[in-house]
Amino acid sequence: MNLIQTTITPAEGEQSVRTYCCTRYNSKLLGLKTDGYLGVTNKRVIYQAVGSTAGGRNVIQSEVPIADISGITSFKGIYFSIIQFLLAGLLTYIVTALASVLIGGAAVLLESYTAFQILTWVIVVGGLAGSFLVNVKSIWRSVLASLSAAGLVALGGGSLLSNFSLFGGFGRSIGWQFFLAVLVNIYALLCSYWYARRPTFSLEINSKGGASTPISIASASGLFNLSVRKILKPAPAKDAEVMLKELGALILDIQMLGDYGIEKWKVQ
């Protein structure tokens, strides 16, 4: 995509040198999915992301004259989202509670302990095996693991309540299924942690005007600010890593070499 030829009006004699698809925005809350592009011309550096939501068209745009650029700070990596972690934990808790109720109801309806064991073991094995079949970054991995743990608690962990006395401690040994359920719950917790790990991308292009940062691509700040500018968290797109490697040299060549630097990068 060439910003100069599509969404940006060029200045007199302005020509595009390179354009990078560097960020990806995907917000289910806002219903917005779009890419962010960084365009380098012979006169300026422009960042733009354009997308549409139910509330209308949204545009994020910033730019700086290429002659004024004094420094670049960038980051591409992983951050931990506490909101996504809590969301996975809440969904896991709800599924576990519902599964416990349904398994308990099945025990009453079947009127056969053997049939109850068979059904519950199917849930345990199916949930645990299914968790390995879904993507490691999917929220359903932790949900399926917790479903398996709920089945294990129903099979053997229920004896924990009957064996424990407030004043007398444990009367008999706890079922081995309970200890296995603890291990599966730890696995479900690790799945929630992995789900909460999200890719992130940030870029700051500073100008010679002191602390001025005309182009700043960073993670959202402000939990209750629901504007597009604040709530969107940029993830790295297909050209992010290439851009981080090239951008400094590209800008420096244009600043120092002029037309020769422009032609050098346009032909590559």
Per-residue confidence (pLDDT) for residue 210, from 0 to 100: 61
pLDDT for 29 equals 65
Would you tell me how many other CB atoms lie within 10 Å of the CB of residue 173?
Answer: 9
Domain chopping of the chain, boundaries: 3-80+199-267, 82-196
pLDDT in tens, 76-117: 888 888 888 898 888 888 888 888 788 777 777 777 777 878
Q: What is the mean pLDDT of the chain?
A: 80
Prediction pTM value: 0.68
Q: Which of 1-10, 63-72, 206-215 has the lowest mean pLDDT?
A: 206-215
**pLDDT at residue 181 tops 70:** yes
Q: Would you state the pLDDT for residue 216?
A: 83
Q: How far apart are CA 93 and CA 189, in angstroms?
A: 11
- Mark residue 111 as left, alpha or beta (left: phi above 0; alpha: psi -120 to 50; beta: remaining): left
Instruction: Calculate ∠ Cα 9-10-16, nearest 5°.
Output: 120
Q: Looking at the structure, give the CATH architecture of the domain made up of residues 3-80+199-267.
A: Roll (2.30)
With beta carbons less than 8 A apart as the criterion, state whether 203 and 22 touch: yes
The distance of Cα 122 from the centroid of its chain, to the nearest Å, equals: 32
